[in-house]
A = this chain, B = another copy of it.
């Protein structure tokens, strides 16, 4: 790897770390160069302004998160098991350090500069990408009965977000894996109590 690429990576790593721990505003470019073990001039050779660096960080973090498999409905499997799979993936994402970092940075910026709100929200992550298709297939197969599928999908995801994501984001609590499992079980129980097709 060329030296310049290595330096660039050091800068991005340091920015990710510092923007997360101290916030964009509270991170000075001197501090950042120090942490990156790079001269400040080198930072500016790679990124014209602090804002350009911030945009690059955001992009890189989104790219890292874009990966992740899709769960497709399978009529031969119990619905409860498939929902658990979806929820486990989602909780793993929502509680991952990488996701919390980018979310914290992005949300702080959005709250400070509301005009950037919709620009951020466009990118779709995690199970949000495929859950509508999944639920549609499950309804078609007669396993679920849902009148408003996008709404029901939100109800499911919001359960997980509310218990797992926001408390971590605001620095209140972290969940143990056992607690996470309980949250998932209860979210599924709530969802199926409402939407699972009853025999007869």
* Residues of chain A at the chain B interface (Cβ within 8 Å): 22-23, 25-26, 104, 107-108, 110-112, 114, 117-118, 121, 148, 151, 154-155, 158-159, 161-163, 166, 169-172, 186, 189-191, 193-194
Contact, CB under 8 Å: A23 / B159: no
Given A26-B112, A117-B172, A170-B117: A151 touches B186 (CB 8 Å cut-off): yes
20 contacts between A and B (CB under 8 A): A22-B112, A26-B112, A104-B111, A107-B111, A108-B108, A108-B111, A110-B170, A111-B169, A117-B170, A117-B171, A121-B170, A148-B186, A155-B186, A158-B159, A158-B162, A161-B162, A189-B194, A190-B190, A190-B191, A194-B194
Query: 3 tightest A-B contacts by CB?
Result: A158-B162, A193-B194, A114-B171
User: Given A190-B155, A194-B193, are A172 and B118 also a contact pair (CB < 8 Å)?
Assistant: yes
Q: How many copies of this protein are present in the complex?
A: 2
In the complex, A148 Cα to B23 Cα: how many Å?
A: 37
A163 touches B154 (CB 8 A): yes
Which residues from B are CB-within-8-Å of A191? Answer: 190
Could you tell me the distance between the alpha carbons of A171 and B104 in the complex, rounded to whole angstroms? 16
Contact of A171 with B110 in the complex, beta carbons under 8 Å: yes
A189 to B145, CA, bound (A): 14
Chain B residues with CB under 8 Å of A107's CB are 111, 170
